[in-house]
Amino acid sequence: MTTQVANRPHPRPWAQVLGGLSVAILSAGSWFAWMGWDHQYQIDPRTQEASGPYEAWQVVGCGGSLLILLVAALLGRVRWFVAAPAMTVAFTAAWTATAASTDDTGLYGVGMILLLLGLAAGTTVVSMVVLGLRRPDRGRPLNS
């Protein structure tokens, strides 16, 4: 009796390396494409309150891009323990490079840690959900 696990193709190590590098490059690129270029704060003319520098559409677009990238990588058979850390580290590094160059207080370090922890948690959860939905035996009784 063969199982579906035995019939599933095993990803080659070089494919995992290339997949991880692709995820890392595209993750960092997502930061620079959506938000890394924006350094302008917006001042409300009525209240004189500053906000920004990012607009809501930029954050949503960047988050959506990262989500699509991670799901595509996982469906393309990049292992979750390759794709999730590649995305987390590359995006955090790109953010940190931008933040460190414009911050005189050193508080970017706190933001870097929070971003790293948040992305690590988020990419792990998304990975587990995608892998759970992708299982071919999902919904069948264990003894069938």
Per-residue pLDDT of the chain (144 residues; tens, 9 = 90+): 444 555 556 668 889 999 999 999 999 999 999 998 887 887 888 988 887 788 889 999 999 999 999 999 999 999 999 999 999 999 999 999 999 998 889 899 999 999 999 999 999 999 999 999 987 665 555 444
Where would I find the H helices in 49-107? 56-75, 80-102
Using DSSP's 3-state secondary structure scheme, residue 92 falls into helix
